[in-house]
Amino acid sequence: MKSYVIFINMDGKAEVMINSDKVALNEGQILLSEPATFSLITENGVKLLGIQITKK
């Protein structure tokens, strides 16, 4: 089964590490990835909505 993870940034700004890749996620942006090791850093907080989708 193929799976994907979607993060929607509802409010704030974050720097996201996906495995060893770094990306900026600003308010209103969407991050789509295959499952991975995620970590994030934010200065003033962030509100994220995370969804995992599996395709059979």
Is 1's pLDDT higher than 80?
A: no
Which superfamily is assigned to 2-55 in CATH?
Jelly Rolls (2.60.120.10)
pLDDT at 43: 86
Task: Please state the φ and ψ torsions of residue 29, each to the nearest 5 degrees.
Answer: -90, 155
pTM of the model: 0.81
Ranges of each domain in the chain: 2-55
pLDDT for 9-40, tens place per residue?
Answer: 999 999 999 998 999 999 999 999 998 999 99
Is 55's pLDDT higher than 90?
A: no
Cβ proximity of 2 and 50 under 8 Å: no
